[in-house]
Structure formats: structure tokens, C-alpha cells
Amino acid sequence: MSGARRRPGTAVRSATTQPSPTRLWGWHRLRPEWAEQLVSAAGLGPGDLVLDLGAGDGALTAPLAATGAQVLAVELHPQRLARLRERFADHPRVHVLGLDLLDPRLPARRFHVVANPPWSLAKPLIRSLTDARSRLIGAQLVLQRGLVADFDRRGAAGPGARARFRAEYAASVPRQAFRPSPPGPAAVLQLTARRGR
């Protein structure tokens, strides 16, 4: 790097420097009381199939399993995936999957989603969930408040998605509901399949 000029006061960033895990993976863990509220609002029970997308350490996975539903907990981050597998290794209704959230392989049967996914993946994730082939019944997604308000005004994203799904601003979620706190407020986006699907 000799001969390279930089402005005074600017740091040289090493090629090995990585963003913090929070920025890289967009993870803000829901506190237990908020996770319980979100799961309760979903109204799940035995016989339901529910996806926890971006399951993290299982903050939503555990209360989802307590409803009696079958839970597919999806996580890609290697350390969190390992902890999740260890925590739910003997649970008969929890299956932990190490998959990318944007993997297009959704369940062939009807399913629900209750998740606190990385906010940076929200738009492509919603497009995938509301695709014409999706068997999604309903979703409760914790996302950036501005994005949820936008979906509430405009409807679900993607070709024909508005005809298939209703998108609603279901609840506000304060920054204090997370560890660590996100940079801005959050809200719950509720997606509901329209009748006839």
C-alpha cells in the first residue's frame, strides 16, 4: 500500500476486516416476552406446519413448538445453526434446516410462517412466500417499520401477489424488544392468503 494516498483522519481497512456479525447477518434477537406475543397472535396448534425463517438461537422456535405445531427452523449462520441443532436435537416436532432463506424450495403442503428474518432479505423473502406456487396460509414477519407500512399501503410484492395475499401492518415492535437493539423501530407484517387459495 506504499504510495497510496488517503485523506487525513481516514482509517485503512484491512482486507481481513469483516463487518460485525450483526451487520453481516442482520440479526436482532427478539426478547422472550415479545417472541411469546408474536407466536400467540399467530393462533397455531397441533397439525399446523410453521416455518421459523432466520431462527437464530430459537427465540421463536421454542414457543412455536409449544403450540403443538410442526416447526421447520431455518438458519444459515454456522454457529447459530449448530446451537439450534443442539438445543432441539431431541424435540419431536422441531426440524432444524441449514438453508438459505431465499432457497425457493417451500413446503409442498400448506404452511404458516412466524419469523424475525434479517431485514435486508425482506423483499425477496416476501416475493418468494407470495409466489403463485406457494402454499402459504399466513405469515407474521418482524421487519423494519417503514417497510411494513409500505407493504400495508401497497400490498404484497410480486406479480399477482396482491390478488393472492392481503398484507397488513399488524403491530408495532419497539427497539427495546430486541437484543441488540436495531437502528430503527420494527413492526409485524401480517400476510394472509385470500379465500380460494
Q: Where is the binding site, in residues? A: 54, 75, 100, 116
For residue 152, is it within any domain? yes
For residue 67, is it within any domain? yes
Read off the DSSP letter of residue 175: G
Write the CB contacts of 64 (distance below 8 Å, at least 6 apart in sequence): 39, 44, 50, 52, 71, 114
Residue 139 predicted with pLDDT over 80: yes
Largest CA distance in the chain: 67
For residue 102, is it within any domain? yes
For residue 12, is it within any domain? no
Q: Where is the binding site for S-adenosyl-L-methionine, in residues? A: 54, 75, 100, 116
Give the C-alpha separation, 97 to 73, whole Å. 6
Q: Assign 153 a pLDDT band (cuts: 50, 70, 90).
A: confident
Domain total of the chain? 1
Give the C-alpha separation, 44 to 39, whole Å. 8
- Residue 104 domain boundaries: 26-193
Short-list 60, 29, 21, CA closest to 182: 29
Q: What is the pLDDT of residue 1?
A: 39
For residue 14, is it within any domain? no
Q: What is the CATH number of the domain that holds 185?
A: 3.40.50.150
Q: Assign 26 a pLDDT band (cuts: 50, 70, 90).
A: low
Give the C-alpha separation, 37 to 7, whole Å. 50
Q: Containing H/E element for 23?
A: helix 21-25
Q: Considering the chain, what percentage of its residues have pLDDT values greater than 90?
A: 68
For residue 2, is it within any domain? no
For residue 172, is it within any domain? yes
Q: What is the pLDDT of residue 20?
A: 40
Q: Assign 196 a pLDDT band (cuts: 50, 70, 90).
A: low
pLDDT tens track for 49-71: 999 999 999 999 999 999 999 99
CB atoms within 10 A of CB 96: 24
